[in-house]
Each structure stands twice: as C-alpha cells, then as structure tokens.
Structure 1
C-alpha cells in the first residue's frame, strides 16, 4: 500500500465520500488510488471552484469534503476559497502535492515550485502541515478530523511530497477516532442558568455555531421567552417565521435599542462580528447587560464583545445543558412577553417597506412560493444582501452566501453545485449577479456535468451595482463598475443548459416551475431594470 492509497482508505474511514479536484502530473498517485475507491470525484474548471464547491458541500451537509489540488498554481488558485471558508468556520480538507523532500526550499526552478508553500497557505488554514514521514499520515489526519469535530472548524491543508505520496506504508486496516466536542463546565452552567432565570429582558444571539442543533435552539429561546437574533449563517435555525426570531437585523436602530436594553444576553456560537452586527460600520451595536458567551474557540470568547461569563463549549452541548437546568415553566406574573417584544421591534423595523429592500421583497415571495424547500446559495450581490434581511428559511443549512466574512465574488455558482452534490434530494438556487458570475463562467460546464436540479438565477444590472451605489454616496465617479454582460442565452446553449429570461415576479415563478431533477441546469436571467418597472 502506498501513502496515497492509505490516504484514500483513511478518508473513507472518516466518512468522506466526495473529492473535488483537477488532476495534474503531481497528483497522479492520488488519482491512481482514487480510481479504485468509493469516493465520488467532481472536476471543476478551476481550483477556486473546487474550494467553493467543498465549502457549499460542507454547509449543506454538515460534513467536510476533500479537495485534491496540485502544488504551486493549484494552491494559489484555491486560496481565496479557503479564505472564505476560514472566515465562516467551514470545514474543508485540502490535500495538495509538493515537490520531493530533497528539493524543498532549494529554489531549483522545479515544476510548480513555490517558496514555502505550506507557510503561504497557513494564513487561510486552521492547520497547514507538510507530511515528511509517510508513517505519520494517520496521526496528521486524526489531527485534522479532531479540529473538524471538536474545535472551531476551517480549512485544513496537508501537503504531501511526491516521493512520500508514492512511498510504501504498512497495510494496516484504517481506523478513525470518535472525537466529541467540549461540553460546558457544570459550575458555568449553574451560574448562567441563574442569570437567565432571573433576567427580566433576556436576549439570545444565535450564530452559525448553532446550526447542528436547531431543536435545542428553538426550545431554549422558547423556554427563556426571549427575542433572538439569528446571524446570516444561522438563518433557519428557528425555522420559518418564528415569532421570537428577529433575523439578522442587528445593524438597524430598533434592533440595536432592544440589544442595549437587554439585561442578560446569551451569545451562542457567534463572533459578534462586523458583517453580522455592524453592516453600517459605525460601531453602534452595544450590549449593556450581562453577556454570557458560548463558543468552541477559547480565543473567540474574548473578541469584539467582552463577556461577563464565558463558556468554552460546542453550542449544542451548551444549549442542551441550559435546558436541563432551566425550569420548564415560569409563573404567569413573571412572563417576559418575548413574542410581543419581538413584534414591537419587527413593526418598528418595517423591513419590507424599506426603500432599499422593497424591490427585492417580491423576489423572496416568489422563491418561497415556487420552491419552498430549496437551498439558496448567494454571491456578493444586491439581492443577496437584501435577502440576508428578508429571507426566512424552513431549516438551517438552506441559506448561505459570500456576502459576509471574507466577502468574495464568484462564490455562488460553485458553492451551489457543492450543495447540490451534498443534498440531491433538494432543489438548489444559485442567486448571483452578472458581475460575480463572470468570475466563474467555466463552472457552467461543471453544472452541466453534474446534472443536478440547480437554478442559476442571474440578477443582471449591468455591472457592479452595489459598488456603483457606494461610489454615488461617496461622490466618486463610476469608474470600472459599468460592465457589458455576455449573452447568457448563448452561454446557456454553449454549455447545454436551459435558459429563460424574466422581467417580473410572475415570469420568475413560471421559470422556476421548470426546475426538476431529470433535466439540465436552468439559467434564469432577471433583467433588473425591467423587474423594477414591473413592480
């Protein structure tokens, strides 16, 4: 057995079933082993696409996929996707080649040679390791999956020198350790329970760390009778239209007043970071009450908002522990009227009437009516920014995008293909702008190859409209933002995809009705100017 063969066997033992990658001369040994395995392999058109696909796969399924990437340009290509996954705590296993051990660091001009490849990628990884000893592979993979299971996840990069990849290893039966995440300290649970039980105006902040335990999250906010903010990555954790859910509105004045007035705030699995809590970039989100923070990352417990009580724990474990300690009922005289408090804020926000968001309200009404169970994967584009406020999802892992954290363009289409690979039982919508889609047009070929039920909804506003608006607000001339889009109908034909242009919500509803599991991907081009006139 070679090291490459043992790698594939170990991945299967850890439950990895899909690999995204583009073969190269430096990864031939990996593909020799892959060809006789049970892993599915998907070939993107660019290594960045491989990373975005693995990201979408993990967000939709809750488990990591592998990326097989060549040394040098393959790794610099995937770095952007790794940065997005790192920013949003998405597990991703990146296996790359690197030159032979004897040549590392010698600058001999070998094929794909990089100076310190592992160090270069360490900035977008939670762990970057060079495997010098083939016998150490099980240990290194155990470290990677321990991070995925019991720490704040993110990309793990393991680079394997060419001579190590082909080296023999003992043909032992692969095994995978069962790793459990940390649970909260009992004394911390007792103190947190006391604060929460005696709070008069409690508030809950639900972050992406809660998506694996939606039932516990819903039970906890209802037990506390507390309004809850759900971050963009936590959308759907409280299910659809929950009366206590205020969504990701933390940057808006009425929501901020509620946060400042809360006497006890429970923050679960959230960074309390800028792209969720301060989209107006004024530092105005304030917590004046006691703050209880729960996070799987000890360093995150002290960032952005200093806690009064910090619990190092996986959010699901903490929520179940709190539920076990909190009394199931409160006296009628001590009711907190959480739903009424949330409703007052919702009325004050009047999100659907906001002139910036109003043009997109019919979009989300239509998406929900046509495909209520769909996974919606977005790029950094106007309708997605609006959807972060407007969309309500029936379950977690149904809404994610690149409009937060790293904020890259070109994410939506390949990440949607990863999601469709992970969840072939659900329709998937890639919601992209005409500008962002042009980063990854080649992945239309991957969409055709996969044959999954994916609707690619292009919001065509002739360029980078969000940047245009910022330029206008800042009195900067529109330089570099007015782009002529390609003929998407012709591109659809070239890639053997179906196409329909739409100009109104009724057109869009009709077009989405054409999506089915047996047909080719469906490209729907929305004429943004015509859409606005139709409303």
Structure 2
C-alpha cells in the first residue's frame, strides 16, 4: 500500500526536493517510514527553529524551496519564528506538519501536542495553510504550494496532515507532478507606458530589492542601457558586481542618498518593499520621493503599497525587464550625471565611516575575499549592521542575514548550515555575535553530523553590545545586556568541532583559506577587545 505519507515523499521528489529538515517525533513516524529508501536526505537540527532557519538558508543559497517535517503542537510553535523571518524576506519554505486525528481536531480534549488551531497560529507567517482531509487533495495542494514559490511572492506554505490521513491508503492517487504556470509579465501597454516615462526622464535611479534576486542579468543590462544609478537592499546585494561604476553603497538612509533620489527624474523600484530597515536604517525619517515612482513587483499589494506609484507594474522582475529590454530603441539618459553622482555619493558615504566602521569593512572584505564564491550568512550583530550599508557582495544570494526586516536573533548559524547543504561546493561563513549565537548554539552538533563544513565566526563583544550602546545613547542605564559570555573553546570541544581564536586579519584570512578545503565545521572566535586590526 502507498500511504499518504509515502505519496507525499514521492511528490516532493518529483518536484525536485532533495533535502528535508526535521526532528522525528511520535506524530511524524509515518513521514519517516516514507523517507526510508527515498532519495531525500534528512537533516536533524536540535530545535525546530533551527530546522526553519536551515530551510531558509538552503532556499536562499540554492534558489530552491526549503522543506521541513515538523511535529504537531510544540514543533509548530518552535518553527513560527523562522517562518516569520522567511515571510518577511519572501523566502520559499514548505512546512509539512502532523496534526491530531480528524475526529479530535479543535475539540480541546487534551490530546498529545494539541493546539486549538495550528493554522490560525501560522496565519500571519505563511502564504497559506491547509489541512489535508483526504489523500486525494495532496497533488492539488502541493501544486498550489510550488506555484506560490515559482509564480507569486514566495513565502512559507504550511500543510498539516492529520494522523489518520498520514497512514491512509493513497494507492489510487495520481502522483504525477502538475505543470506549473509561468511567472507573469506585464502587458504590452504597460511596457509602452514605462518606455514613455523613461524617455522623458533622463536622470534615472534604480532601487532593487530581494524580489529581483533572480534578475541579475536584466538589472545590470537595464542599468547600463539607461545610465541609471543603482541602490541595492540587503537582500539584493550582488545584483551588480562590487566594482561596477553605477553601484551605490547602501545609501538609502544617508543624507547624500536622499539628495540623489531628490535629483532624479524617475525612480524605478524593482522587487522592493521600500521598507524601513533598508531605506530608513538610521531613523532619519520616512523615504519621500519627489520624482515619479515606478514599482515593479510580483505582488500587487506591494505595487500599490505605501509609496504610491505613478506607474505600478505587476509581474515577475525578470519577465518585465526582459520585455522592456526587448525593444532595441534607445532611451537616452544622462550617463555623465549617473556616473558622477554615484562616485560623489559613495565618497561621501565612505567619509561618514568612523574607525569602528572601517574596521568592520576590513573584516567583511576578509571574509568575502579569502576564498572564491563565498556565501556570508549573518545574524543580528554589529559587523553585520555595518555590512547593511557597506558590504558589496560578489554575486546574488551570497550575502543574507536576519539583521533587517523581521530581525530575529539566532538565525546565522543554522541558516549557514542550510546554505552549505544547498551549495556544498561553496565556502559558507556564519557571522554571529556572542549573544545571538547562544539562541541556536546546539546546531553546531547538527552541522558536524551533516558534514556541513561551515565556518562560524563569532564576534565576541561580551554581551548585547548594540543594544547596550543604544541604551547609552538614549540615556537609559544599561540593564540586561551585560550577559555572561561562555567559553566558546570549551563548547566547541564539547561538540567535537575545531576551534581557533585568530589574533588579527592575517591570521583570520589564513584560517579561512585552510577551512575552504574541509568538510567539517570550524569555530573562529574574534574577541572585540583583543583583535589586531593592523599588522604589528
């Protein structure tokens, strides 16, 4: 007999899934029976939040949905935080959970792992949640999930399967994966209106966000053809190479960046929410645009968002830009203005950097350049905050973190594990703080167990330093931020993970180069007060 659980696993394989993250439990035994002998790799984190973060990192790095098998009740409450981060950053994540038997749902009889309503729990952190009441529904519901991932704003999808449905007979169900629709483009009339607006607007600025991450070729071609200055959000870093003359640093919150936007004749926002943590990083006030705004977004709600667009364009970024670029007619543009403005603004932004900021820049460049094709996964920590305004990623999806948007702690380590499993040939670095890493430190064991050769760089500032500094700036007596710092060398040894404490940038670089050839994790602890930033 082919059970519903076995049918699920076969369909996941047919849709190209190769890895599942989850912690086995008494309510998911049938899922694990189905995994046995399949082509899916199973990775066991030490907490369901870690499972979600691993799936998130896997999805961002590999550009394929991350999949989790999660236990009823506490498993769902544990993974909700990771789903929130993925929801905020539009990351495709499929969460398959068990739930109590159909006749016991929502009755409150005190069944094992019972919640009143798991779907209600995740309503705010999922594109949709569905209770599978019959095996026959499985092909349609999975097709809906993968359509969301491919053709809409890709956010987590939750499918819960009652215990009595998991082991129900699905031998009669057609397990052929359904053909998925193509991502939508814009109408010819809309593309024509966009061309007309550009033709009468010689000074152009592109604001690209994470929704353009798969349109790097098109974004670069459009910027060069239009002669447009390009500002990238955190999730869009790498859409232009680091040395591109049209690339602005993370200037949206700097005075000079706002002045550049004021001088533009048209602003094209591509796949970006224009949200606070990218465009008002320093709390200088909401973004105000004087020039006509074009919003290109696959989500119609965003295309008509808080920043009203003179021309809203609903469609997949790559498809829309392909249609725009297909017309060979030139659109002119003030090339000199763009190149001069970018150089001037970047110089002014660099001048704002203090000694600490420049040290963090040197650290980030060392992480990026020690080995080719490195992925840097950040947590909420001071060097990552600096990277939000200064880091130039070499390629798309090679720099992502939890320091913007939803902004959870504990993300960096497990997300780096997922990224490494999704892209095993690439070096992967987790850049974490001594406070944040303690949220998910147990995932070091999962990294070693999965032979995920990540490098965990711990920025040890001996407490929640960023929050402590904020308290001092706001004349609040620091409270709750000077926490006990553990012995990370002893912890690494306890997890049987290699450990080093590099003395300076050169030592750090040498350790990163050596680690690029290993398939086991490594912890590198940087003591903020002892690290040598300059050679002796």
What TM-score comes out, normalization by structure 2 length?
Answer: 0.97
Contact 2:139–2:174 (8 Å) recurs in 1: no
Q: CA deviation at 1:31?
A: 0.6
Q: Does 1:133 align with 2:152?
A: no
Q: Identify if the C-alpha distance between structure 1 residues 239 and 135 changes in structure 2 by more than 3 Å, giving closer, same or farther.
A: same
Q: CA deviation at 1:216?
A: 0.8
- Offset from partner CA, 1:84-141 (integer Å, 9 cap, x none): 0000000000000000000011111000000111111111111111111221111111
Tell me the residue number matched to 2:376: 376
Tell me the residue number matched to 1:457: 457
Q: Does 1:14 align with 2:15?
A: yes
Tell me the secondary structure at the aligned position of residue 300 of structure 2. coil
Q: Identify if the C-alpha distance between structure 1 residues 161 and 519 changes in structure 2 by more than 3 Å, giving closer, same or farther.
A: closer
Q: CA deviation at 1:165?
A: 0.7
- Correspondent of 1:306 among 308, 318, 322: 308
Give the whole-Å Cα distance in 1 for the aligned partners of 2:79 and 2:385: 25
Calculate the aligned-residue CA RMSD, in Å: 1.5
Q: Does 1:319 align with 2:321?
A: yes
Give the whole-Å Cα distance in 1 for the aligned partners of 2:86 and 2:351: 29
Tell me the residue number matched to 2:405: 405
Contact 2:226–2:332 (8 Å) recurs in 1: no
**Where do 1:34-113 residues align within 5 Å?**
34-113=35-114
Q: Does 1:441 align with 2:414?
A: no
Q: CA deviation at 1:496?
A: 1.4
What TM-score comes out, normalization by structure 1 length?
Answer: 0.97
- What are structure 1's unaligned runs of at least 5 residues? none
Give the whole-Å Cα distance in 2 for the aligned partners of 1:167 and 1:533: 62
Contact 2:199–2:331 (8 Å) recurs in 1: no
Give the whole-Å Cα distance in 2 for the aligned partners of 1:495 and 1:227: 48
- Offset from partner CA, 1:303-329 (integer Å, 9 cap, x none): 231100001001111111111136347
Give the whole-Å Cα distance in 2 for the aligned partners of 1:504 and 1:477: 33
- Offset from partner CA, 1:405-464 (integer Å, 9 cap, x none): 110000000000000000011000000000000001110101111223311000000010
Tell me the secondary structure at the aligned position of residue 349 of structure 1. helix
> More displaced, 506-515 or 452-461?
506-515
Tell me the secondary structure at the aligned position of residue 514 of structure 2. coil
Q: Identify if the C-alpha distance between structure 1 residues 352 and 501 changes in structure 2 by more than 3 Å, giving closer, same or farther.
A: farther
> More displaced, 88-97 or 166-175?
166-175
Q: Identify if the C-alpha distance between structure 1 residues 352 and 429 changes in structure 2 by more than 3 Å, giving closer, same or farther.
A: farther
Tell me the secondary structure at the aligned position of residue 400 of structure 1. strand
Give the whole-Å Cα distance in 2 for the aligned partners of 1:322 and 1:416: 36
Contact 1:20–1:43 (8 Å) recurs in 2: yes
Tell me the secondary structure at the aligned position of residue 273 of structure 2. coil
Give the whole-Å Cα distance in 1 for the aligned partners of 2:92 and 2:519: 31
Tell me the secondary structure at the aligned position of residue 42 of structure 2. strand
Tell me the residue number matched to 2:214: 212
Tell me the residue number matched to 2:347: 347
- What are structure 2's unaligned runs of at least 5 residues? none
Give the whole-Å Cα distance in 2 for the aligned partners of 1:310 and 1:206: 15
Give the whole-Å Cα distance in 2 for the aligned partners of 1:519 and 1:453: 4
